[in-house]
């Protein structure tokens, strides 16, 4: 039973572990790291959040790991880096046409995993989970704002 933050964090880490293991075993022959897969999927789902710093924040990954993964994806011709027109210091990461094939595989596997994991969970249970998580998020937001003062 999830009665405290530690138990909730353990449950979330367990979900993450299952995802990483599934993706790693599916894509290990193709030589993609879990972080490269995360970046491809994230950019596919969020095309306007496309700088390395944004990826670090949103994926909660170190700058070094993001840079290494981006370099690898550029070498694999799945990403390109394009300078911002207004601020030349900013580099935008854009998916290439060549990335479509791997992204389709990633999305397909993600959908398969989700279907398998959530097959016995009703829409009402999802709705209640969302309400509960929103309440937790609200409490955390209040704490963060209070601590910032």
List, run by run, the mean pLDDT of 10-residue segments along the chain (149 residues): 81 86 86 91 94 92 95 97 90 96 94 92 93 90 84
CA–CA gap between residue 142 and residue 22 (Å, rounded): 36
In this prediction, residue 72 carries a pLDDT of 96
pTM: 0.79
Question: Residue 136's domain spans which residues?
Answer: 121-149
Distance CA 43, CA 55 (A): 9
Q: What is the DSSP letter of 2?
A: -
CATH number, domain at 15?
A: 1.10.10.10
Q: According to the model, what pLDDT value does residue 24 have?
A: 84
Answer yes or no: do 18 and 72 share one domain.
yes
Instruction: Write out the two tokens for 100.
Output: 């479509």
pLDDT at 113: 92
Whether the CB-CB separation of 39 and 66 falls below 8 Å is answered with: yes
Together in a domain, 33 and 86: yes
What pLDDT score was predicted for residue 1? 66
Is residue 88 domain-shared with residue 136, that is, in the same domain?
no
Number of separate domains in the chain: 2
> How confident is the model at residue 76, as a pLDDT?
96
Phi-psi region of 80 (alpha: psi -120 to 50; beta: other; left: phi over 0): beta
* CA–CA distances in Å: residue 35 to residues 76, 83, 121, 136, 149: 14, 23, 28, 27, 35
On whether the CB atoms of residues 92 and 86 are closer than 8 A, the answer is no
Say yes or no: 54 and 125 in one domain. no
Q: Would you state the pLDDT for residue 12?
A: 84
93 and 60 in a common domain: yes
Residue 133 sits in the same domain as residue 111? no
């Amino acid at each position: 039973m999830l009665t405290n933050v530690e138990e909730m964090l353990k449950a979330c880490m367990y979900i993450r572990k299952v995802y990483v293991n599934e993706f790693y075993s599916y894509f290990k022959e193709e030589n993609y790291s879990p972080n490269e897969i995360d970046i491809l999927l994230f950019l596919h789902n969020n095309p306007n959040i496309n700088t390395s710093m944004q990826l670090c924040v949103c994926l909660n990954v170190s700058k070094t790991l993001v840079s290494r993964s981006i370099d690898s994806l550029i070498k694999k011709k799945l990403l390109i880096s394009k300078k911002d027109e207004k601020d030349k210091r900013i580099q935008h990461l854009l998916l290439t046409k060549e990335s479509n094939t791997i992204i389709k595989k990633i999305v397909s596997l993600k959908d398969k995993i989700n279907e398998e994991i959530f097959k016995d969970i009703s829409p009402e249970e999802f709705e209640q989970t969302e309400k509960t998580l929103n309440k937790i998020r609200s409490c955390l937001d209040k704490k963060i704002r209070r601590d910032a003062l």
